[in-house]
Amino acid sequence: MTLPIRGIDHLVLRIRDEKAMLAFYIEALGCELEKRQDELGLIQLRAGDALIDLVPVDGPLGRRGGPAPGREGHNLDHFCLRLAPFDEGAIREHLAVHGIEAGDTQRRYGAEGYGPSLYLQDPEGNTVELKGPPEAEA
């Protein structure tokens, strides 16, 4: 038997600065606030078909996870958000409005094959990859 995996449902980031992280993911990247569970210390953001969960380290869930993330130790290497369309100029212009610098666009392999992608960092040093469509669709 194999499991019928369809994609990523959600990922969870333990955070220190809720305000900066919400500004980055909602205002700069365009995620939507879907649900808050303040009694747990959980903020859920819609990212296409998936969720990005933010867990403040000083909340009930966050305290269970140990020390806060930082430049010297992360809870995650990176995660990738699939974009369609991938208009590099428009993406860079939009990020610049929010004071965000992204790395070079390169051809990288992802779940759908090779395509353009670039990396950037959120306010707490987590690496986010923005990935365009596979070459066959481009």
* Domain CATH code at residue 19: 3.10.180.10
| Residue 4 domain-assigned (yes or no) | no
Omega before residue 85 within 30° of 0, cis = yes
Q: Which residues contact 113 (CB under 8 A, 6 or more apart)?
A: 134, 135, 136
DSSP state of 68: P
Q: Which residues contact 2 (CB under 8 A, 6 or more apart)?
A: none
Q: What is the pLDDT of residues 77-111, one digit of tens each?
A: 789 999 999 999 999 999 999 999 999 999 998 98
Q: What is the pLDDT of residues 9-55, one digit of tens each?
A: 899 999 999 999 999 999 999 999 999 999 999 999 999 999 999 99
Higher pLDDT, 64 or 122: 122
Whether residue 138 has pLDDT greater than 60: no
The pair of three-digit structure tokens given for residue 72, joined into one six-digit string? 């010297």
**Rounded CA separation 30/67 (Å):** 29
Per-residue model confidence (pLDDT) at position 126: 87
Number of domains in the chain: 1
| Residue 1 domain-assigned (yes or no) | no
Q: What is the pLDDT of residues 56-65, one digit of tens each?
A: 999 998 888 7
Q: Which domain holds residue 44?
A: 10-131
**Is this structure's pTM higher than 0.75?**
yes
